[in-house]
Amino acid sequence: MSPAVAVVTGASSGIGLALTKHLLSKKWAVVMADINPPSTDLGPSTLFVPCDVSSWEQQAALFAQAFAWHDRLDFAALNAGIDDRDDIFASIDATTPPREPNMQTFQTNLVAPYYGIKLCAHYMSRNAVPGGRIVVTASAAGLYALPAIPQYSATKHGLVGLTRSLAPLADRPGTSITLNALCPAMVATGLAPPGLMDGFPAEHTTPMSTLLRAYDGLADFDGVARDEWRTSPRRPNGCVVECTLAETHYRDPPEPPNESQKWMSAGSSEYWAKAYAERNRRFAEMDWKAASNGA
């Protein structure tokens, strides 16, 4: 029987590399996607695919190659991420109009995971038993404001919202995909610019072991390898897991303040579905790039 297959983006360094090694220790086959190659060859159970996840074409080619490897895709960690590429208030000058800002952080941290989820939905539906699991790497900066890196914080808040909004429709008969988000606090990796970690208080640094434990809780790697997870009564979905120090906390959305907002969140779906079904079908059929305004 072929091994369970994972795609890990941003796999050449930091959290993605640690997760790759963790999956290998559980006998998974791992497709390592990154703009940079890993510094060491991790053996025949890995397949490195050079990929800039912010490009739809490159990510589509990545998932096609990943699925073709063993004719299955069981898990994806949409993990590649970067910090800020613009600083609004440090770059304004009263005498010169501003230049168009660099929005690559949004493209890499938010648009790319959206592409990845869409591609997973396709390839996981082609599994012998359709379905699979996805974990996006958000951040504690997706739960709390981080004024030093507002672009980053906004994209990670976006991933939390995307996870909570997409998950209910992902895990149902026919798709069987679970989508969860990890929100690590500060972890010592290559993400921070040189100097940030120098002298950063060790008591505020989260160990990688906390993240790996959270991944195990969300994706049940042993169960997937035994093909048991689909029947498991415990299928975390739409969960947002904060990892801080040695602790993991499952974060619920804010409590609605009144009955109306409770209904908006939990009871209004038939109204939305009716209004959007036809419209979204039109969008799906449309060549939106060729259309003038996509409306």
Q: Rule CB under 6 A: choose which of 21, 24, 26, 35 binds ligand NAD.
A: 35
- Contact between 79 and ligand NAD (CB under 6 A)? yes
Query: Which stretches of the chain are assigned E, i.e. beta strand?
Result: 5-9, 29-34, 46-50, 75-78, 132-137, 177-184, 240-244, 247-250
Site of tokens 């049940």: 220
Site of tokens 């989260």: 206
- Residue 156, Cα to own-chain centre: how many angstroms? 10
Select 131 or 157, whichever has its Cβ closest to ligand NAD. Answer: 157
Neighbours of 135 (CB within 10 A): 25
- Contact between 105 and ligand NAD (CB under 6 A)? no
How many residues line the site for ligand NAD (CB under 6 A)?
27
- Contact between 191 and ligand NAD (CB under 6 A)? yes
- Contact between 211 and ligand NAD (CB under 6 A)? no
- Contact between 42 and ligand NAD (CB under 6 A)? no
Q: Are residues 178 and 235 in contact, defined by beta-carbon separation less than 8 angstroms?
A: yes
The residue among 140, 131, 178, 133 whose CA lies nearest residue 159 is: 140
Site of tokens 């974060």: 251
Task: For the CB of residue 137, give the shortest distance to ligand NAD in the complex, in Å.
Answer: 4
- Contact between 10 and ligand NAD (CB under 6 A)? yes
Q: Rule CB under 6 A: choose which of 4, 8, 30, 54 binds ligand NAD.
A: 54
Stretch that binds ligand NAD, among 46-54, 93-101, 223-231, 268-276 (CB under 6 A): 46-54
Q: Which amino acid is at 141?
A: A
- Contact between 15 and ligand NAD (CB under 6 A)? yes
Stretch that binds ligand NAD, among 10-18, 124-132, 196-204, 244-252 (CB under 6 A): 10-18
The residue among 239, 268, 220 whose CA lies nearest residue 26 is: 220
d(C-alpha 113, C-alpha 134), whole Å: 10
- Contact between 153 and ligand NAD (CB under 6 A)? no
Select 21 or 235, whichever has its Cβ closest to ligand NAD. Answer: 21
Structure tokens at 288: 């939106």
Task: For the CB of residue 184, give the shortest distance to ligand NAD in the complex, in Å.
Answer: 4
- Contact between 111 and ligand NAD (CB under 6 A)? no
Bridge-based pairing of strands 247-250 and 240-244 is antiparallel
Q: Which residues are catalytic?
A: 152, 156
Structure tokens at 294: 């996509």
- Contact between 9 and ligand NAD (CB under 6 A)? yes
- Contact between 209 and ligand NAD (CB under 6 A)? no
Dihedral (CA of 139, 145, 148, 149) sign? positive
- Give the interface with ligand NAD as residue ranges (CB under 6 A): 9-10, 12-16, 34-36, 51-54, 79-82, 108, 137, 139, 184, 186-187, 189-191
